[in-house]
Structure 1
């Protein structure tokens, strides 16, 4: 890999091979990535849609390689032992999955420790895994590229916190700009002298220096990458009794960070850890990480704060993506992949999208892509028991590994797919999540679901349009203009579904058969 992020000059970086030979490819060849951080060692195996890779396998071991590094200059002996055991396990798993060789990157602890080279040689000798040690700036760039994998075209600042360091990078127009690294990782902060006052002074002065290096930038969107940030987000969700516990795209405000710092400092750590679902090793770092985040948002004053589950590992995949692949919408690509793999009639989703689109004449591009995603996913849960299909559809949409979706959009998508199979949404166990979308959006999701339910009755083939819907919002009339070949498909059940859609629109309806 080079400074421009161009992996196509005869050098395929740590992977040692091209992952995306064909820019038109839809599927990713299964690949395993090991992230050897200062605090944890993780194996992720990616599979699925090329533009929106899914986690085929994901395992993390908290090793704390960087603990005590500032004092000894060496990796933690206990952490090193645990990391080696974890890597041996990962190498064995990779052989079973037929994904060797694994691609491994190491960050701050290994690059700073005097015994880092020795550890690399030991890992290679004992496991066959070649460890690529990256610089702090490279770490910042890869983390930023991971964010771009989930949010193409995003702008703002990416902040990735590890055990021994914290990296920042600017992103704009699909590119990574300025980037820097600092020693603000929680394991390093444990070793700061001077007690509470000394720690706060050190954090404040370091962040002010970072702010100056970033040209005093304020008011940007802040993307947070790293396990400690995600743990803080879980604490924030617990404090707020937030109904959707998906971390990716979770939003916080500067005020919320301050409130959550107070909350963490006041709560019993063991009790909070249990309620928030955080490991004891990770929870031990949260009180330090929240001090950093609180000071960071006070100085940079971001307009909003977003949690990203994508980071270095995803950034390595993005590194190799050709421009044509990077330009695709990760949400739509993931839904296309799901339709091709699981739908009974792959290819009908785009036809269904054209069928329902007249019902939403004022939808902006963001809403249109959610409508399209729903149409692509409308039939992927057909294997579920009929009594549970609405619930399965809602769960899949709201909890699936999908990029490019706000939480409110997840719930809208889930509601639409739920109404694909059910006319009611009251009294269900996930009703609390509906509060994340407005009443108007709940009604629009119901209209979309009922329209998809009708359109699904009109299968003439994956490439054949069954008819057209014409919606007059002024007169509140809905007309179904059917292709003659679809006349026999419009039986009693289809008629009832058309009436159900008309009722959801509070309209009158008419069915016409073309000559």
Structure 2
């Protein structure tokens, strides 16, 4: 029987992997198309259930939150059945709320009896490691400290040259802190500061990058994007200077949730925990004084996928893998990108040729035929949009601008085209010339 192509397998449910993340604030289902270095997300939905909101006061998950979570999981089970995802391809994990609640074990048993879904409760250190793997899957050269903020806990992980060197979980999630201290920021700050003092290696890593994970912290980054009118509204790899991020966190911590909810792209239910989440971020940044604060859209769920990959796939460049996948789907000739790269490479042979530029050139070559199906008058726009807004990891905003500008030129984009101008706005003169 002939081996199926990538085009066939992207719709083959036998390859799909479903990840269910039962957190302190939300319950989420993500379905990935297959086990690969850059898996496509076929389905992604979360429901804010608030399982951790009463644990600090009662030691238990409350009945209303558990009922909401159970109803959500029943629906997810029906969706997975409709997508024909087999039980062996479902990875369901529960984190801080279920881990710490006195009725956590009974709740897991209820999930199994009512839905058939087997949930494993992971430890704080395992949660931290999975979050770090998720960040590394999307930012392979990440070097510094990763912070993953959930509703009930904060996971901190140090990574250096792709390896995890330190990890710890702290009981300072916004739901927990608000449960303990309501909105008293003085008491919340004391608790945060005391918890951070338990991490001696954190302050010793000053001037490192800080990579933020978690919905509440991503919402903080979105506020900055709206405030600064960022040219490219893509969260992954969005970067801020450490001092600017600290000022932003302090500002948001002082706001009322109602005013934050009025900001475009900030979910109203997320706004309720944003001031507390921003206060946690402010104290961490004050404690460690990072060089840059970089947002990662990938975390625990992507870490679960990355953990399963063989070492050969882990070693792949995620941007190049994604570009090659796109070329196989949308290009005409599978070998086109590699041949084009070999053909143009001699033009760039010099001591000043930087490895990062060579990588971007290769990705551009792989993507160079993806717009041939488009209308002849709009192929340039289509190619640039794929680079700017495509689901890539392993590249930042500047890299997207470089690839977009190069692809636009391939398809004859004029200097006055708005999308080409957007690309140039993110680049320096030398990178524009290179592109």
Q: How far 1:204 sits from its partner (Å)?
A: 1.7
The counterpart of 1:403, out of the listed 389, 393, 399, is: 393
Deviates more, 1:259-268 or 1:185-194: 259-268
2:3 equivalent in structure 1: none
User: Can you list the C-alpha shifts for 1:343-389, whole angstroms capped at 9, x where unaligned?
Assistant: 11111101111222233333211111111001101112222222222
Kindly tell me the number of residue pairs found equivalent between the two proteins: 419
TM-score by length of 2: 0.91
Which of the two has higher C-alpha Rg? 1
**Match of 1:35?**
21
Alpha-carbon deviations, 1:483-508, whole Å to 9, x = none? xxxxxxxxxxxxxxxxxxxxxxxxxx
Offset of residue 429 of structure 1: 5.5
Match of 2:158 in 1: 170
Distance 1:218 1:230 in 2: 22
Q: Is the 8 A contact 2:35 2:309 kept in 1?
A: no
Q: Secondary structure at the match of 2:377?
A: coil
Secondary structure of the 1:114 match is coil
Deviation per residue, 1:107-131 (Å, 9 max, x gap): 0000111111111111111111101
Which residue in 1 is equivalent to 2:168? 180
Contact 2:153 2:172 (8 Å CA) reproduced: yes
Matched position secondary structure for 2:43: strand
Matched, 1:304 2:292: yes
Contact 1:157–1:222 (Cα < 8 Å) also in 2:
yes
CA–CA distance in structure 2, aligned partners of residues 213 and 245 of structure 1? 34
* Deviation for aligned residue 1:276: 3.4
SS at structure 2 position matched to 1:402: coil
TM-score (structure 1 length as normaliser): 0.77
Q: How far apart, in 1, do the equivalents of 2:396 and 2:97 lie?
A: 34
Quick one: distance in 2 between partners of 1:388 and 1:268?
Answer: 45
Matches for 1:339-488 after TM superposition, within 5 Å: 339-361=327-349, 362-428=352-418, 431-432=421-422, 434-445=424-435
Which is worse superposed, 279-288 or 258-267? Answer: 258-267
Offset at 1:236?
1.3
Looking at structure 2, the residues matched to 86 and 278 of structure 1 have their Cα atoms a distance apart, in angstroms, of 22
In 2, distance between residues paired with 1:340 and 1:423? 24
1:231 equivalenced with 2:251 (yes/no)? no
Contact in 2 for aligned 1:31/1:99 (Cα 8 Å): yes
CA distance in 1, matches of 2:35, 2:339: 21
**Bigger relative contact order (CA 8 A; separation at least 6):** 2
Structure 2: stretches of 5+ with no match in the other structure: 1-8
Matches within 5 A, 1:331-346: 331-346=319-334
1:158 to 143, 146, 157: 146
Q: CA 1:281–1:144 in 2, change beyond 3 Å: closer, same or farther?
A: same
Report the Cα distance in structure 1 between the residues aligned to 2:304 and 2:17, rounded to whole angstroms: 11
> Against the structure 1 CA distance between its residues 31 and 294, is the aligned structure 2 distance closer, same or farther, given a 3 Å change threshold?
same
Q: Where does residue 250 of structure 1 map in the other structure?
A: 238
Instruction: Output the CA distance in 1 between the equivalents of 2:215 and 2:255.
Output: 20
**Match in the other structure for 1:127:** 115
